[in-house]
Amino acid sequence: MRIVQVDPTRPDPRAIADAALVLRRGELVAFPTETVYGLGANALDPAAVDRIYAAKGRPAYNPIIVHVADAAGARAVAAEWPERAERLAAAFWPGPLTIVLPKRPIVPDGVTAGLPSVGVRVPAHPVALALITAASMPIAAPSANRSTELSPTTADHVARSLGNAVDLILDAGPTRVGIESTVVDLTRDPPVLLRPGMISITDLERVVGPVVGAGRVAGEAARPPPGKLDRHNSPRATLVLAGAADVAHVMDRERARGRRVGALVLASPLRGEHMIEMPADAPGYAARLYESLHALDDAGCAVIVVERVAGGREWDGIRDRLDRAARPPG
C-alpha cells in the first residue's frame, strides 16, 4: 500500500495520472470525496469490482455506488434519465446525493449486487473529479473501510482499516461533509429515500415533489431495501445514546463497571477526559462525527455515550448513523 499526498483543491496532475493507471490495471485506489473516503475500482471491470468486496469483507448483496464526473457520465451507466433525475442533478451535483436509476447492461452485476438498478453520484471533490476524468471511467466506490467499521474521513483511517488490501491511497486531508451521501431511488414513483444524509428529504422535495421515507413504502417486503442493508458503521466501542440529562448517569454506571468511557456532548454541561464537545449545528456535527468516534476508539474507550441530537430534518442523516451504530450487532 502506498499513500500519496495531494492538494485537496489543486491536485498534482502527475499524482492523479499515476492513480488513474492503477485503476486501469484493475487495482484499488482509495480517494477523498466531500463525504468520506471511497475505495475505488473501475466500475466496468468485474474482476476489479470483486476486489472491492474482498478488501472490505462486504456482503455480496450490498450494491456499490458508481462515481461519475457529470450528468453525461451518469447517463452512460443509467438506462433511463427521467425529468426528476435531471432536476436533482441540476440542483445537487456535484454533491452528496446518490440517485438510483435503472442500469445499463455495461454495468457489471457485481456493482449492483444483481439488482436491475445502479446508484450514481458526482462527488464534489476536485481530487475525485480529477481522478474520474483522468481514468476516463466510472469509478465504483463504497466507503473505504472494512464492512462493519466506521467510515473513514481521513487517509489514516483508510490505511488502518484496509492496510494492504488497498493499492494506493490519495491523501487530501479530512473530508468536509463527514457522513455518507443521501441515497434516493428514482425507479419508484414517488421517489424513495433509501439513506438520509446532509441533503435532507425536505431539500429533495423542494426539487422533485413528495419523497417517501423507506420505512413508509406501502406493501414493503420484510427484507429491507438495499439502501438500508448497510446496517452499521460502528465504532469498536459500544455506543450508547442518552438524553442530555442522562449523560452523567450513564457514564457513571459504565465507569462503575470498570470501563473506560468516552462521550460526545452537546447541551450537557459535563466536560472531562475523553469527552468531546460537538458543534451545535448539523453540518458542523456531521463533519466531526466519525473523526470523533475514531478518536475515542483510539483512546481505548470501551463505551461511548452520545448525547441525543435534535429532531429537525437537517439532523436526519446524523440520527440515522447514530441509531445504526448504537444497535447491538446481530
Interacting residue ranges for ligand TXA, rule: CB under 6 A: 33, 35-36, 38, 62-65, 96, 98, 100, 112, 115, 117-119, 123, 141-143, 180-181, 183, 194-195, 226-227, 229-230
Residues in the chain: 330
- 142 with 38: CB under 8 angstroms? yes
> Which range of residues in 70-78, 135-143, 253-261, 294-302 is near Mg ion by CB under 5 A?
135-143
For residue 303, give the nearest of 233, 236, 251, 237 by alpha carbon: 237
Please state, in angstroms and as integers, the Cα–Cα distance from residue 244 to each residue in 239, 248, 264, 279, following that order.
Answer: 15, 8, 10, 15
For residue 177, give the nearest of 130, 139, 125 by alpha carbon: 125
Query: What's phi and psi for 159, nearest 5 deg?
Result: -60, -40
> Which range of residues in 115-123, 140-148, 238-246, 271-279 is near Mg ion by CB under 5 A?
140-148
| Cell numbers for 272 | 472531562
**Partner that binds at residue 36, options ligand TXA, Mg ion, none, CB closer than 5 to 8 Å by kind:** ligand TXA
Nearer to ligand TXA, 98 or 292 (CB): 98
**Partner that binds at residue 38, options ligand TXA, Mg ion, none, CB closer than 5 to 8 Å by kind:** ligand TXA
Residues facing residue 117 across a β-bridge: 102
Q: Helix, strand, or coil here: 86?
A: helix
**Partner that binds at residue 118, options ligand TXA, Mg ion, none, CB closer than 5 to 8 Å by kind:** ligand TXA
Nearer to Mg ion, 84 or 121 (CB): 121
Min dist CB 286 to ligand TXA, Å, is: 11
Burial class for 52, CB neighbours closer than 10 Å (0-12, 13-18, 19+): buried
| Residue 143 sits in the site that holds Mg ion (CB under 5 A) | yes
Nearer to ligand TXA, 100 or 137 (CB): 100
Give the CA diameter of the chain: 58
Query: Which amino acid belongs to residue 88?
Result: L
**Partner that binds at residue 152, options Mg ion, ligand TXA, none, CB closer than 5 to 8 Å by kind:** none
> Which range of residues in 2-10, 51-59, 138-146, 294-302 is near Mg ion by CB under 5 A?
138-146
Nearer to Mg ion, 31 or 251 (CB): 31
| Contacting positions for Mg ion (CB under 5 A) | 143
